[in-house]
Chain A
Amino acid sequence: MADWISDKGLQTTTGPRGAGRRWGLVVDLDKCTGCGGCVIACHAENNLALAGPIDTDQGRSFDWIRIERYWEGEYPDVKAQFIPVMCQQCEAAPCEPVCPVFATYHTAEGLNAMVYNRCIGTRFCENNDPYNVRYFNWFEPALNWPDPLPNQLNPAVSVRSRGVMEKCTFCVQRIRDHEEQARIEGRVLKDGEFTTACAQSCPAKVLIFGDLDDPASAVSQLVQSDRRFRLFESLGTEPVVYYLKGGQG
């Protein structure tokens, strides 16, 4: 097999594969207003197919990141709680071992990767996904962008075809882009040099993206907080998306 998969040393020196890093995301729920900016940014960045009101109602929309809204308390003392949910990039991802064709697998840098060309659409991964963050292409997505919308597609992201599964990639195209840039300039990647589309567009800076293995990074500092928790932690899926909750106000 090619060395860039097996040889970690080779990866860090020459390959753009970013081993030695462990990407993570922190979501500060105490700041989230549920504005939905991250959802829009994700749609624009990742060429998510559009779904009309009927298909959205039928659960066939594409929201690699979605704002879940929960009501707390009894009327009239009700309060809306917002929680942005995206692929948790679990370190022990239950969706991976069930795929019969290796269309989804774990990369050296802790990403739960999706190979669209390899996917045959058994949809087993979404069954075994406790977070329901995998999205199946029920339609031919290319037909979903009326003119001139095809012109706004992001050339760095492939447009998926009908019959395959897709999900949040932690904007892997941005990771690769900046790694490449840093390599050309002969320097190491700086923390906060780039971020995911959702984090970039969040007005309240709810989402912070970075390398969990770099002790100096913003995410590493934030996950030390006592406010931290992870979704369905008892399942042992080891997500790398950390939520913060429980501050004043």
Chain B
Amino acid sequence: MGMIVHPPELYPDEQINQDVLRPVFVTTWRWWILVAISGGGFMAGLATWFYMMATGMWVTGLHRPVMWGLLISNYVFWIGLSNSGTVISAMLRLSKADWRRPITRAAEAMTVFALLIAAQFPLIHLGRTWLFYYILPYVNQRLLWNNFRSPLVWDMMAIMAYLGGSMLYLYLPTLPDFAILRDHADGIKKKMFTLFALGWRGTRGEWTTLNACILSLALLVLPVAVSMHTIVSWDFGMTLVPLWHTSIFGPYFVIGALYSGMALVITIILILRWAFGWQRYITPYHLDKLGKIMLVAGLVWFYLWFNDYVTSWYGKLPEEKIIFDLKNAGTYYWWQITMMLANTMVTLPLLAFKKFRTSPLAMFILTIFINIGMWIERLLIVVPSLVEKGPSFTWTTYHPTWVEWMLTVYPLAGFMVLYLLFIKIAPLISVWEIREDKVAYATKKMGQAELRAVVAE
């Protein structure tokens, strides 16, 4: 195929530094324009949120019995996106896959920022946001405690655990790169990077400790990621609501999160590749590998979806059948068709072809469609079940208002802002890991033979 996987000898260290560190120091007009657009969207979303807090939840399209709507769909969607970055990075590190090197940083950062965005939604949709801390188990004079039986409390704890874990998992592998930045920067930036680098010198002891820390953290963060998304699914699974109350939701949500998150990882690295001219680092080889993982995730997701679909279809429990018909023959029919086309029927067969997997443009379009499909999937989980539950006298329809649509743009804009700012404080390709790769694959002449200079432990 002629795809270059390890082209180290072509790049002197200085070249790698140049290519990868440039975005941290050089700010282009394109960056400013993107920051202005996404920052504007973010501020508008924030203003909408405060408007909703000040006036009341009636500005949304929510009403009895549709108590959760677009806001919770967005929550599940963004939690799902956050799932993948750390997971893919941890899996590849643990399996010692060398091709992971140029994509881990971008993926890890994606997790942290998507989670920071997602974690706001449980607060946004509260009737009394300003009292959110009632949900925390804090000591108080009245001996009031939170309710540990509630999935929302588990949810809060899972978010905190995963946020903590993935922030650390982003920071630790960036530490040596902060040291490189410190050595290249001056002025206020030098001060900042000196602080971030924690006095890193690159001694043998430091490297050993760092690698041990990263590997054990990778091992610890994987189960947290799985539990995180399982718990989100239990917000639905633990209820009596028709088509929410199903035991498949745990694995189904985890794999759905992996699927949509993988798609976002690919979208992001393709944007970075194009924006910073990183074609030499992020190659079709990576797209191929990531595309395969995404294909597997997509197939498993469809398998679990079909399990749920066919069992509720054959079960024909009266209250479930009502919701089932809404999705398959009623109000949400076209949503369901769009979802199926966007993330399964068209996407998965295309992903099976190497030609598609290795084409940046095709993958860019595919991954965007997958995430549109996955967003609709979350909508189809949350809304139809609530629209026609309980006594038929109370059945209703749900039409989101501009407030909810603004708060759908808000997370996207917020995510972009955070990501754009991060570009200015850390290289989005791990410099030291690329260099490590180069050293690991370098060869040395020993008499007649040409041997690997470093033998991996």
Enumerate chain A interface residues (CB-CB to B < 8 A). 1, 55, 58-60, 66, 68-70, 85, 94, 97-102, 118-124, 126-132, 134-140, 162-165, 231, 235, 237
How long is the Cα–Cα vector from A138 to B152 in the complex, in angstroms?
21
B279 within 8 A of A: no
Whether A128 and B131, one on each chain, are in contact in the complex, defined by CB atoms closer than 8 angstroms, is: no
- Asked if A135 meets B64 with Cβ closer than 8 Å, knowing A99-B147, A120-B135, the reply is yes
Residues of A within 8 A of B65 (CB): 59, 126-127, 129, 132
Q: For B153, what are the chain A residues with a Cβ–Cβ distance below 8 Å?
A: 100
Q: Which residues of the partner chain B approach A55 to less than 8 Å between Cβ atoms?
A: 58
Q: Are A100 and B156 touching (Cβ within 8 A)? A: yes
Partner of A121 from the list B126, B144, B147 (CB cut-off 8 Å) is: B126
A68-B393, A121-B57 are contacts. A162–B127 as well, Cβ < 8 Å? Answer: yes
Do B389 and A136 touch across chains, with their CB atoms under 8 A apart?
no
Q: Which residue of B lies closest to A63 (CB)?
A: B64
In the bound assembly, the distance between CA atoms of A235 and B242 in angstroms comes to 11
CB atoms of B144 and A127 under 8 A apart: no
Q: Are A100 and B56 in contact (CB under 8 A)?
A: no
Do A132 and B150 touch (CB < 8 A)?
A: no
Q: Which 3 residue pairs of A and B lie closest in terms of their CB atoms, listed nearest first? A: A121-B127, A163-B127, A59-B63
- Other-chain contact of A102, B66, B127, B145 (Cβ < 8 Å): B145
Most A-side CB within 10 Å, residue of B62, B122, B390, B392: B390
A199 to chain B minimum Cβ distance, whole angstroms, is 21
Say if the beta carbon of B134 comes within 8 Å of chain A: yes
Question: What residues on A are CB-neighbors of B132 within 8 Å?
Answer: 120
Please measure, in the bound complex, the distance between the C-alpha atom of A122 and the C-alpha atom of B150, giving whole angstroms.
Answer: 11
A85 to B392: give the CA distance in the assembly, Å.
12
Would you give the 0/1 interface string for B125-149, flagging 1 where the beta carbon is closer than 8 Å to chain A? Answer: 1111001101100000001111101
> A59 to B64, Cβ gap below 8 A?
yes
14 further A-B pairs in the complex, CB-CB below 8 A; given A68-B393, A127-B241:
A70-B393, A85-B393, A99-B147, A100-B146, A101-B134, A119-B127, A121-B57, A121-B126, A127-B65, A127-B68, A127-B239, A135-B64, A163-B126, A164-B128
| A134: nearest chain-B partner, CB-CB | B64
Instruction: Chain A residues near B328: list those with CB within 8 A.
Output: none
List 10 A-B residue pairs with CB atoms under 8 Å apart, sorted by A's residue number: A59-B64, A60-B58, A119-B128, A120-B131, A120-B135, A122-B126, A126-B65, A128-B241, A131-B391, A132-B65
Give the contacting residue for A136; candidates B57, B131, B241, B390; CB below 8 A: B57
Partner of A100, one of B57, B150, B391: B150
Q: Which residues of A contact B68 (CB under 8 A)?
A: 123, 127
A163 touches B134 (CB 8 A): no
Q: Which of A101, A139, A165 contacts B58 (CB 8 A)?
A: A139
Contact check, A131 vs B390: say whether CB atoms are below 8 A apart: yes
Q: With both chains docked as a complex, state the minimum distance between the C-beta of B41 and any C-beta of chain A, in angstroms.
A: 26
Check A121–B128 contact: CB distance below 8 A: yes
Nearest chain A CB to B373 CB, angstrom units? 25
Are the C-beta atoms of B390 and A68 separated by less than 8 Å? no
Verify B393–A101 contact, CB threshold 8 A: no
Closest to B392 in A: A70
Q: In the complex, how many angstroms separate the beta carbon of A214 from the nearest chain B beta carbon?
A: 30
A120 to B180, CA, bound (A): 47
Within 8 A of A (CB), among B94-138: 122, 125-128, 131-132, 134-135
* A-contact bits for B324-351, CB 8 A (1 contact / 0 none): 0000000000000000000000000000
B residues in contact with A235, CB < 8 Å: 240
**Does B151 interact with chain A (Cβ within 8 Å)?**
yes
Nearest CB of A to B69, in Å: 10
B396 at the interface (CB under 8 A from A): yes
A98 to B147, CA, bound (A): 8
**Per-residue CB proximity of B376-408 to A under 8 Å, as 1/0?**
000000000010011111101000000000000
Q: CB-CB < 8 A to A119: which residues of B? A: 127-128
In the complex, chain B residues whose CB is within 8 Å of the CB of A98: 149-152, 238-239
| Chain A residues whose C-beta falls within 8 Å of the C-beta of B144 in the assembled complex | 102, 118
Residues of A within 8 A of B215 (CB): none
Chain B residues with Cβ under 8 A from A59's Cβ? 63-66, 394, 396
**CA–CA, A1 to B392, complex, Å?**
43
B146 in contact with A101 (CB, 8 Å) = yes
